[in-house]
């Protein structure tokens, strides 16, 4: 939860290097809960520790206003160049304005799909925080609309395959309940 640490560069402190190296050596995953302003720090972390699997939670918390900010987009492009970085499609509803429509999220998801292969994008519910603004099934339905243009293999990766691979799980769970 780096998002709440005032020192943006805290995770890059030299005394943390041994711990981060140990995480990588034990094939642990670093879930980076950060704000958009911290994305350059995650890029530096990914570069310093190329064997550390990093999952960028909540798509790096971009501003959710129907536009994709230049700084966020540039950071996403740079992070996508790091093969050890994946991105989680989660937490977007709780970061947006009340009554958020899926069309508002479309530019964010499009930017992720343009830069990350689907085998590096994973879905997350953000439950129970999600329930402050929507239902679990509502978020599933919104996500389905956002990724409807993808083929079955890409959707399967986002819905569970990527998470199973990244987190070393034995079996992916079909969260949307269909038989694909």
Tally of CB atoms within 10 A around 50: 11
CATH of domain 2-167: 3.20.20.140
3-state helix, strand, coil in the chain (%, to 5): 55, 10, 35
Tally of CB atoms within 10 A around 75: 22
- Non-local (6+) Cβ contacts of 160 within 8 A are 122, 123, 172, 173, 174, 175
The pLDDT of residue 56 is 98
The pLDDT of residue 178 is 53
The pLDDT of residue 100 is 83
Helices vs. strands in the chain: H and E counts, helices first = 8, 4
The pLDDT of residue 85 is 98
pLDDT tens across the length of the chain (180 residues): 899 999 999 999 999 999 999 999 999 999 999 999 999 999 999 999 999 999 999 999 998 877 788 999 999 999 999 999 999 999 999 988 888 888 899 999 999 999 999 999 999 999 999 999 999 999 999 999 999 999 999 999 999 999 999 999 965 455 555 544
């Amino acid at each position: 939860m780096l998002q709440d640490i005032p020192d943006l560069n805290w995770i890059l402190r030299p005394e943390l290097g041994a711990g981060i190296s140990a995480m990588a050596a034990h094939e642990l995953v670093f879930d980076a809960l950060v704000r958009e302003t911290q994305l350059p720090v995650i890029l530096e972390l990914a570069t310093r520790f190329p064997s550390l699997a990093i999952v960028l939670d909540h798509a790096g918390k971009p501003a959710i206003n129907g536009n994709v900010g230049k700084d966020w987009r540039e950071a996403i492009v740079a992070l996508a160049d790091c093969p050890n970085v994946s991105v989680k499609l989660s937490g977007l509803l709780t970061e947006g304005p009340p009554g958020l429509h899926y069309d508002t999220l479309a530019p964010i998801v499009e930017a992720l799909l343009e830069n990350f292969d689907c085998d590096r994008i994973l879905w997350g519910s953000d439950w129970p925080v999600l329930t402050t603004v929507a239902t679990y099934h509502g978020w599933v339905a919104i996500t389905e609309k956002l990724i409807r243009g993808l083929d079955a293999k890409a959707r399967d990766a986002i819905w569970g395959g990527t998470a199973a691979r990244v987190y070393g799980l034995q079996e992916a769970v079909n969260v949307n309940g269909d038989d694909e």
